[in-house]
Structure 1
Amino acid sequence: MAEHDNDFPSLGELAETLVGAYNLIGKLLGDLPIPIGLPPMPEREGGGREAAQALERARLALLDLPFDPETKSMFHTLLLEWLTAQDQMALAASVSADDHRLYALFATLTRISMIASMVEHRLTDPDS
């Protein structure tokens, strides 16, 4: 890997953040008026693929839920961002963890955090 800022998260730390984001998304989906459950993210090889499949099923289930279009769109974007981060993680792990891949993954995880915060706010204060 090329030289990068020593304070920048490692691939392993970014992987932990990705798992944390999955768990947060699961909590948010569970807080819906009609909850959508996610299975725990498997810790074995290939667990990310199973988590991605669960989020894809959740994404499709969201389309049929009766709630406001803005919140639905935020959830949809949140799930797509997580799936994008999972793809970026797989590429960094299988091809190489070059700086540009780590920075892109970090940026996607940052967007996930921001969107999750907005979704959480919408769920706790729907009139906002």
Structure 2
Amino acid sequence: MNLINCQECGKVFASAGSKVCPDCRQSEEEKFELVKEYLWDHPNSTVPTVSEATGVKETMIIKFIKEDRLQSEGLDIEYSLKCKTCGREIESGVYCDSCRNKLINDFNSNPKEKEEEKVNEHEKMFLGDRFKRD
């Protein structure tokens, strides 16, 4: 069990992977519902308009988009979200589809196979060097 400070209020809590305490998480959920309801009735609104109408900070609305809970296609944002790896413009989340797929493939690949390939490469280089010396 990890004890960490909440990123929102600073309170110490037992984290199960979340960076905000249960109280702040509940508050975030309520704010998300407000934003979602507002966008349902007022599609293609700007972030400042949604923020002003709901009382939810602009940074929180952008956070919802980065968490892939809202998509920017129904929301007019003043800046574009960019893929963390390649910099390509994206509508939500942190990574574009191609970078996300590459990360998943890299994660799912077998590390033992890569180690064996490295060993074989080193053996070839070593033997090649020995033959050149003779």
TM-score by length of 2: 0.27
Bigger Rg, which one: 2
- Structure richer in helix, relative to its length: 1
Higher RCO by CA contacts (8 Å cutoff, separation 6 or greater): 1
- Structure richer in strand, relative to its length: 2
TM-score by length of 1: 0.28
